[in-house]
Structure 1
């Protein structure tokens, strides 16, 4: 028989209808449960490891992952857990999401799929301990100040105070006397400067603003230091990620920005030399980065937060930055975390010449030894 209307549609009130009403929700719930179990099973058996973070470090991570795969293709497939062969032999490899240093740390904190985060700046030791994390450097990189100027083949020279004034908006033209004083004999154009900065939370922003704050009282008292700061209003433009900065500088005559040197070279952008604390103008190359790292204390106390390249040593490139990895000490997917550590150990101990060709600097032997010991002491699942 027909029952009372339901939203204007008569409804059959029979025993079969009642059973269907009871069974259908149970059936749907069963399907959802099976789907969730399937996703969890696939995650547990998926050989991909997932990293996220620094765009500055993206070329290093992506190229070294390929090198790691090639290095282990001869591993015994009968011992995948011990050798890392399961990660390389089935060809699925590593997924890296260049979402910026801050974004990578946030992803690690919120997404169990992410096995490690990469950052151009260290987390405070209290944060690392409070969140049950581990943190260690894997290499060193650099931040290049790039520009879109035709200087007739001459090299642009800048110092921290002048770069700070450009981003503060007090130095507005390329022929400003402050820039001219740093570049004797260079025909600087009578052209407006368009400064470009990162819109997202970035280790590159942390690095360059720390350099500016250290050398410019006006900057230190104003925007200050951080991966995401409040930039002076009405000065220049913002761009998402390093790729956005590259695109904006390349498209705008007279623009200036900051990115990783290898990405700058790949895009055909010109790179400025920067004056360090010793008064030298230095390019972001391996020699200048090595000088900045020379004599550095690699003590692992406080999770390597004391690791600080020198900007004052002779020949040192002042925007040399360590590249850190952050991982959980008690991950949900321990097998994937163990494979991630195996890969990262390869970057620290074996990926030397190739890293240099990309514009990064491998850790010196003392640093690599300290990192290896730290990994074994910090992560219970270390291979």
Structure 2
């Protein structure tokens, strides 16, 4: 096993595949002139997932270059904060690593005066990143990861860790888990994985706000990464695109240990189903994190862009539509892969996302 760091660019094969799958959608954008036409203007305000910070910066640069009179602002306040701001009418769109729950969906429909747009725009592995002197490679099962963050495995040379890493010289130092201090979609996805796969070693359930005081905490994705970089013997969970030069664990899937990659993260979408009871423009996905299929990395976040289907102002509707169209286009997805190592969104999901965005209009 080699040390695993996220590639800053997706493979040529992945990009070619994405281009072919989304080609029709990209062509639709060109015909519609909603993105890349240089004709859009105004200010678009969004807030939400800090995991999207890197990819939104790349999207903004490209979108604003093509639409020089348009400005996109994005506050990486966290998924929960972004959804709250959207529901209150404080921002035009939200980025979230968790889809709207039923109560939030009702509130969003009330805010928007009708249906909402909720489409996946960014799929990324959640890395289990660690800082352990002399150790670059580590295998961890879901049961072990759950026990570490539960606080029942407290030393790096615990027998459970040793059993999966027989050739690694593990120290007796205490493990320092680092978690998010803010409401976080990454936390929600990570704890959902532990809830489904840890065999009971994680007992706090699927949560967006970290439930225990054990360990250390930090604000946002960048915060936990910086804390682990500065703290010996520490471990955290974070969007893999921001793991940088930290070492990351391979997780057990079936009988094997799988390192993260964009392709392994994307593979899980093929094993997952849409959330039941949602409208045609709401593409929330129930991720199958319990898969045991080889080559699939199950610790993932599916990040959404959330907007209204209608806006009172025509120019605002055009700007939101143009922005969202760019995100789900072949060009936008290639940008996400190249600049943030995102997994490609393709097939039926991409086509449905483009069709949903095309319904955005002025009320």
The reply to whether TM is greater than 0.5 is yes
For residue 11 of structure 1, what is the aligned residue in structure 2?
none
Counterpart selection for 2:68 from 86, 89, 111? 89
Whole-Å Cα distance in 2 between the matches of residues 299 and 363 of structure 1?
A: 17
Structure whose alpha-carbon radius of gyration is higher:
1
Question: What does 1:1-383 correspond to in 2, within 5 Å?
Answer: 47-70=42-65, 72=66, 88-90=67-69, 93-112=71-90, 114-125=91-102, 127-132=104-109, 133-153=116-136, 155-218=137-200, 222-231=203-212, 233=213, 235-265=214-244, 268-276=245-253, 278-297=254-273, 302=278, 303-312=282-291, 313-331=293-311, 333-350=313-330, 351-357=332-338, 358-377=340-359, 379-381=360-362
Q: How far does residue 51 in structure 1 lie from its aligned partner after superposition?
A: 1.2
Shift in Å at residue 110 of structure 1? 2.3
Contact between 1:311 and 1:317, CA under 8 Å: does it hold in 2? no
Question: How far 1:301 sits from its partner (Å)?
Answer: 5.8
What displacement does 1:103 show?
Answer: 0.5
- Would you say how many aligned residue pairs link Structure 1 and Structure 2? 312
C-alpha contact (below 8 Å) 2:177/2:215 kept by paired residues: yes
- Could you give the per-residue CA deviations for residues 54-96 of structure 1, whole angstroms, max 9, x where no partner exists? 01111111101212233x2xxxxxxxxxxxxxxx223x52111
Alignment partners' CA distance in 1, 2:312 and 2:294: 46
Question: Aligned-pair distance for 1:297?
Answer: 4.2
296-305 or 135-144: which moved more? 296-305
Cα distance in 2, alignment partners of residues 126 and 376 from structure 1: 26
Q: TM-score, with normalisation over the residues of structure 2?
A: 0.79
3-state SS of 1:362 partner? coil
How well do the aligned residues superpose, as a CA RMSD in angstroms? 2.4
Of Structure 1 and Structure 2, the greater strand share is in 2
Q: 1:138·1:324 contact (CA, 8 Å) conserved in 2?
A: yes
TM-score, normalised to structure 1's length? 0.75
Distance 2:314 2:220 in 1: 30
* Equivalent residues of 2:87, 2:104 under 8 A apart: no
1:129 deviates by 4.2
If asked which structure has higher relative contact order (CA below 8 Å, sep 6+), I would say: 2
Q: Deviations over 1:157-212 (max 9, x none)?
A: 11211111111211111011111111120111121100000010000100110011
Q: Tell me, which stretches of 5 or more residues in structure 1 are unaligned? A: 1-44, 73-87
Relative to structure 1, the CA distance from residue 376 to residue 354 in structure 2 (aligned partners, 3 Å threshold; closer, same or farther) is closer
User: What is the CA-CA distance between 1:308 and the residue it aligns to?
Assistant: 2.0
